[in-house]
Amino acid sequence: MLKPEILGQLLVMQSFVISLPDEKSIFSFVCRGLQDMPGVSAVRYSVSPQDQDYESTTVRIPVSLGERFLGEMLLTLDDKELFAPYLDYMNNFCYMLAVVLEERSQRLQNDQLKAELELRVQQRTNQLEAEIAERILIEESLLESESRFRSLLNTIPDLIWLKDADGVYLSCNVIFERFFGAKEADILGKTDYDFVEKELADFFREHDRKAMAANSPSSNEEWITFPDDGQRVLLYTTKTPMYDNNGALIGVLGVGRNITEIRSSQEEKSKLEAQLHQAQKMESVGRLAGGVAHDFNNMLSVILGHAELGLMRLDPANPVCADLKEIKSAAQRSADLTRQLLAFARKQTISPKVIDLNDTVANMLKMLQRLIGEDIHLTWQPSPELCQVKIDPSQLDQILANLCVNARDAIEDTGRISIETGTCTIDTDYSAANPEATPGEYVRLVVSDNGKGMDKETLTHIFEPFYTTKGVGEGTGLGLATVYGAVKQNNGFINIYSEPGKGSTFSIHLPHYAEDFLRKHAEEAAQAVPRGHETILLVEDEPAILEITSQLLEMQDYTVLRAVNPGRAMELAREHHGTIHLLMTDVIMPEMNGRDLARNILAIHPGMKRLFMSGYTADIIAHHGVLDEGVHFIQKPFSLPDMAAMVRKVLDVG
């Protein structure tokens, strides 16, 4: 007799076994559920097909799908009849159980395979993600490196480019873009022939090939013009063959450096060095000339003095007088030469005065016209501005006369010489480029001619003493040297503009003297050779000069105390009881210089006047060649009238 609740239990168990997690739990659940089946005293299950551990009353119900054995339910019966109606249900239940177990097994297997697959997918995904991350890092690193490289290329102020072996552009920087007036994207893949004229492209290509053939860098200089602003620059271009890691030729790497400024600086430096060299040479020559002039002056003084003394003592009808006159004339010309040498050497003693160039030049025009002759037209263009300078007027005479004579000689037949004045300001930039010019305000005296002009070689020598382009006997070679010395002595400088066939222009720049000055010049009345009766202490270490100078002074009725050296002079000063009105002394002497001697004797004879003589320099008594107020100087050699006038002047000064 079937009990419906038992069938219900079997159905419920069927429903629940699906929810249970594993076989153990399922069989545990089923065994407990079957315990209460009619006729069943015990229930167990076995998964072993060889399980023989059961009693005779045990019913074995397989849990299997065809040949597939999954286990068996072992039901021990205490009442077979009661159980018998349920046997078929139990068989069905166990089959169902087998289906559930197999399905579960399959599901678990699938789950396991799925889990393994998912794990492998996950592992591969992780691996790929790691590879991608690494690749991203590499790409970022490459991008950064590329960016850094690009930045480096574009920061360098040189033109940089890379061409393949056929001259096709592979890369370039922004400076190079500027050269072609195109962006890199438009340059790549093209050649020089797409951007510049064939002749220039051929030139570039030739150097490319040269570098590749030589397998070493090839350099050349070339001028290029940037099309955007027309800037023209000198490039020092180096082309280097490039190879890949396998040693195969890639092409040519080009680097073009703008050396325009460097070259300009080099040329400027060379120019300055040449100027310095010239200045040093002039200084050396000046020093040499000054030294020669000193000794030469001493000798001329003796020659002149004796010639004049002889002329005074002889009857003018005496034929020897003519000889003496020739000797005197030659000596005076020689003295003029030494004076010019000293002027060049900036050793001539000067007495600067403030003058207006416009007035001074205007007063010289007649003399200058006579100097240059009638065939040459002289024009004068004074500046409307006041052109005051402080200079010894005689130096200005030297400058203008020499410049005009040179201009005259540069003009073959007829021509034109112009003189003009003006003012200008020299700034620091100009000064930097022209070291001889110091910044400041200047008065400019310009002498121009339309003569034959000079070449560069001549221009580098024209201020050197005894350098002349004139024929033998036509020039001394001291004219422009004198001008140079005079200008330099007055802190000025000279600019020359000249080219062969285009005339010459000499611009003399003298410091502008801004102080007001009295325009009236003290006119010194011309006087006859003055005489006197005062006592003069004459000191000269050159006996011949001492002798002749003494005789000249005595001829003018002065009382002369002769001393051949400072020691003797001191003795005479101490021994002489009367007044010594004037000390007339050489400047450079072995024992003591003239200045110290004067100071010592002045202690014995206060109020004594001093007149210094020198054939060389006034530095000992003058500062930079400029005499202090109250100090008097006479340049050797001197003529009798000059000396007499100077002596009288000094004695008469209050």
Partner 1 sequence: MSQSNKSISLGFTNEPFLPGVHICQIFSSDDERQELLLKFILSGLQSKERTCCFSDNTTKQAIGEFLGNYGISHNDAIESGALTLAGTRDIYFENDRFEPERMLSLLASYYNDSVTEGYPAARVIGEMATEIQHVSGGNRLMEYESKVSILLRDHPVTAVCQYDARSFDGAMIMDVLKVHPLMIVRGSVVHNPFYIRPEEFLTQ
Contact 600, 570 (CB under 8 A): yes
Q: For the range 432-437, what are the long-range contacts, defined as Cβ-Cβ under 8 Å and sequence gap of 24 or more? A: 433/268, 434/275, 434/493, 434/495, 435/272, 435/275, 435/276, 435/279, 436/275, 436/279, 436/493, 437/493, 437/509
Helix axis angle for 640-652 and 543-555, nearest 10°, is 70
Compute the least distance from the CB of residue 39 to partner 1, in Å: 17
* Binding piece for partner 1, criterion CB under 8 A, among 12-20, 118-126, 184-192, 630-638: 12-20
The SS3 call for residue 637 is coil
Residue closer to partner 1 by CB (options 17, 598) is 17
Q: What is residue 437's DSSP assignment? A: P
* H or E stretch at 321: helix 319-344
Compute the least distance from the CB of residue 141 to partner 1, in Å: 48
The site map against partner 1 for 412-451 (x = CB under 8 A) is ----------------------------------------
Rounded to an integer, what distance in angstroms lies between the CA atom of residue 347 and that of residue 341? 9
Which amino acid appears at position 633 of this protein? F
Residue closer to partner 1 by CB (options 73, 601) is 73
Q: Contacts with partner 1 in 39-78 (CB under 8 A)?
A: none
The SS3 call for residue 431 is helix
Compute the least distance from the CB of residue 32 to partner 1, in Å: 4
Compute the least distance from the CB of residue 13 to partner 1, in Å: 8
Compute the least distance from the CB of residue 88 to partner 1, in Å: 19
Q: Is 71 exposed, middle or buried, given 0-12, 13-18 or 19+ CB atoms closer than 10 A?
A: buried
- Among residues 343, 347, 344, 382, the alpha carbon closest in space to that of 361 is found at 382
* Binding piece for partner 1, criterion CB under 8 A, among 9-17, 409-417, 421-429, 495-503: 9-17
How do 440-449 and 504-511 pair as beta strands? Answer: antiparallel
Count of residues that interact with partner 1, criterion CB under 8 A: 22
Residue closer to partner 1 by CB (options 9, 332) is 9
The correct pick among 25, 106, 109, 264 for binding partner 1 (CB under 8 A) is 25
Residue closer to partner 1 by CB (options 82, 242) is 82
* Binding piece for partner 1, criterion CB under 8 A, among 26-34, 165-173, 239-247, 318-326: 26-34
Compute the least distance from the CB of residue 54 to partner 1, in Å: 20
* H or E stretch at 232: strand 232-243
33 binds partner 1 (CB under 8 A): yes
The correct pick among 32, 198, 232, 531 for binding partner 1 (CB under 8 A) is 32
Compute the least distance from the CB of residue 94 to partner 1, in Å: 16
DSSP letters for 173-223? -HHHHHHHTS-HHHHTT--GGGTS-HHHHHHHHHHHHHHHHHTS-EEEEEE
6 binds partner 1 (CB under 8 A): yes
Compute the least distance from the CB of residue 14 to partner 1, in Å: 10
The correct pick among 24, 124, 269, 531 for binding partner 1 (CB under 8 A) is 24
Residue closer to partner 1 by CB (options 31, 651) is 31
Residue closer to partner 1 by CB (options 9, 369) is 9
Max distance between CA atoms of the chain, in angstroms, equals 201
Rounded to an integer, what distance in angstroms lies between the CA atom of residue 435 and that of residue 428? 10
Residue closer to partner 1 by CB (options 31, 627) is 31
The SS3 call for residue 263 is helix
The correct pick among 5, 55, 139, 326 for binding partner 1 (CB under 8 A) is 5
The correct pick among 1, 2, 31, 268 for binding partner 1 (CB under 8 A) is 31
Residue closer to partner 1 by CB (options 31, 242) is 31
Compute the least distance from the CB of residue 21 to partner 1, in Å: 5
The correct pick among 1, 2, 19, 247 for binding partner 1 (CB under 8 A) is 19
20 binds partner 1 (CB under 8 A): yes
* H or E stretch at 623: strand 622-623
The SS3 call for residue 406 is helix
26 binds partner 1 (CB under 8 A): yes
Rounded to an integer, what distance in angstroms lies between the CA atom of residue 552 and that of residue 644? 9
Rounded to an integer, what distance in angstroms lies between the CA atom of residue 481 and that of residue 436? 16
What does the binding site for partner 1 look like in residue numbers (CB under 8 A)? Answer: 5-6, 8-9, 11-12, 15-16, 19-21, 24-33, 36
